[in-house]
Amino acid sequence: MSDTFAAVKEVIADVLKVDVDNITPETRFIEDLQADSMDQFFLIDGFCEKFDITISDEDARTIQTVKDAVDYIESIT
């Protein structure tokens, strides 16, 4: 498990109040974690804060799974 994956899981667990053990790379934010648009905003904000990055609205729309988030973060850090 990569450090990025572990950190992304921490953000997700904190924002969505879910057990980190239930988060896999294939976990989908909307379908599996029932994240609504406000949750998604807070997730992106959490990723930006945790990794000291900026994610554009356009890029944020492409992040649908945990793996998407990890891959995106790793590609820009």
The answer to whether the beta carbons of residues 69 and 50 sit under 8 Å apart is no
**pLDDT value of residue 1:** 56
> Catalytic residue positions?
36
**pLDDT value of residue 26:** 97
**pLDDT value of residue 2:** 84
Collapsing DSSP states into helix, strand and coil, what is residue 74?
helix
Q: How many domains does the chain have?
A: 1
CA atoms within 13 A on the CB side of 13: 12
**CATH code for position 54:** 1.10.1200.10
Residues forming a β-bridge with 28: 65
Q: Residue 28 and residue 43: Cα distance in Å, rounded?
A: 13
Q: Which residue range forms the structural domain that includes residue 64?
A: 3-76
Give the model confidence (pLDDT) of 2-12 as tens digits: 899 999 999 99
Give the model confidence (pLDDT) of 12-54 as tens digits: 999 999 999 999 999 999 999 999 999 999 999 999 999 999 9
